[in-house]
Amino acid sequence: MLIWLAPLLVFGLVVFVHELGHFLAAKALGVYAPRFSIGFGPALWRRRWGETEYVLALLPLGGYVRMASRQDQATAFLEGGNEEREVPEVGANAVPPTITGTESARDWDPNAMKPFGPKPIPDYRWFESKPLAGRLLILIAGVTMNVILALVINVGSVSHYGRQYTPPVVDTVLEGRPAALAGLQRGDSIVAIDGSPVTEWQQLLDRVTASPGRTIALEVVQGGSRRTISVRPEEREVQNELTGRRHRVGRIGAGPVRRVARESVAFSDAVVIGSDSTWKQASSIVDLVRGIFAGDVSTSQLGGPIAIAEVSVQAAKFGLQTLLGLIALLSINVAVLNMLPVPILDGGQILLNILEAAKGSAFSERTREYILRVGLVAIALLFVLVMFNDIKGIVQRIL
């Protein structure tokens, strides 16, 4: 059961929140939105409330909000193609359905707007009728909701579970390295660095990393008594796993105890810690994308839906906090990647709208369709790549 529920929760929540952002912004600005779909392809469940039909579709790898748009013909293929069989398309050339079957008869409402009825869509309800600022607000609302979801999870997790940290207690000392040569021993507790108090291992790591070749003073509790030892971190070259860049850092050859401690914090502190965590997640993804385009990061590190599903199951096994952390990370991933200037993504649509505003007129329907199809090819190639990586990983584990 966990194999199915965990991925559905992770995928579903992140996609739902993203599309909800577009939907709420469109409704707030008066844009007609006849369909809100989670997933693509044939509908497993659908129901119409008010002027919108809500759909759960077969392929849970995304979703969309269909809005009244005069470029609907160009974008329909991105949302499962022509929907005349289930719900007739909405667009400049939309026509009432021919009521010949039970499904069509059920959908048709003589008092509703197209595609559910004969009433035309008022000019002010079209996406293109809104000023540029309004259109950009609708397009960026999905990304904004993803950031808010990650922020709420990160802040809420710290507030509820407390701040996690690794105590500054030495567990491993490598022979012949600076820590061992200075007299640091297993079980030592580090209480200060150069006179500054230390409460967690990360503080020691940060100071050592930033001090290659420079002596630092460690105040430690050893055998029940305090003593001060001087350590000179050796200079080492390491490669950033995300960006692929190499840089020099300090290392002393010591490792912490494998124990995670928790500390209750005030809500105001949880907001600061959670916000910082969200910012670091976003920054790491930006660095990863930059590294891929610069050729510093191998595309073999990219994972697809299978990898995400596997990680979701593993996270669920470790508990709700870990699963929520994965949702926050994936939500930030979706936010950052959706802002790339690829035509079918939010960032690409934002760029198209800005270019049209600068041009003074909309691109022709054919030009828009060509642009969007280029974007679709790019996303399709990316999907093939991540699926190849996923399948390759499964095969390697089996063999």
Global confidence as pTM: 0.81
Give the pLDDT confidence score for residue 79 in this predicted structure. Answer: 42
Give the pLDDT confidence score for residue 319 in this predicted structure. Answer: 85
What's the fold here for domain 164-262? Pdz3 Domain (2.30.42)
Question: Residue 392 and residue 262: Cα distance in Å, rounded?
Answer: 38
Find out whether 59 and 81 touch, Cβ atoms under 8 Å.
no
Give the pLDDT confidence score for residue 94 in this predicted structure. Answer: 37
pLDDT digits (tens, 9 = 90+) for 290-331: 877 877 777 776 777 777 777 888 887 888 888 999 999 999
CATH 2.30.42.10 domain position(s) in the chain: 164-262
pLDDT in tens, the chain (399 residues): 556 677 888 888 999 999 999 999 999 999 999 999 998 888 889 999 999 999 998 877 788 899 998 765 545 444 433 333 344 443 333 333 443 444 445 567 888 888 888 999 999 999 999 999 999 999 999 999 999 999 999 999 999 999 988 999 999 999 999 999 999 999 999 999 999 999 999 999 999 999 999 999 999 998 888 999 999 999 988 876 655 667 789 999 999 998 888 889 999 999 999 999 999 999 988 888 887 787 777 777 677 777 777 788 888 788 888 899 999 999 999 999 999 998 888 999 999 999 999 998 888 888 888 888 888 888 888 888 888 877 877 777 676
Give the pLDDT confidence score for residue 313 in this predicted structure. Answer: 80
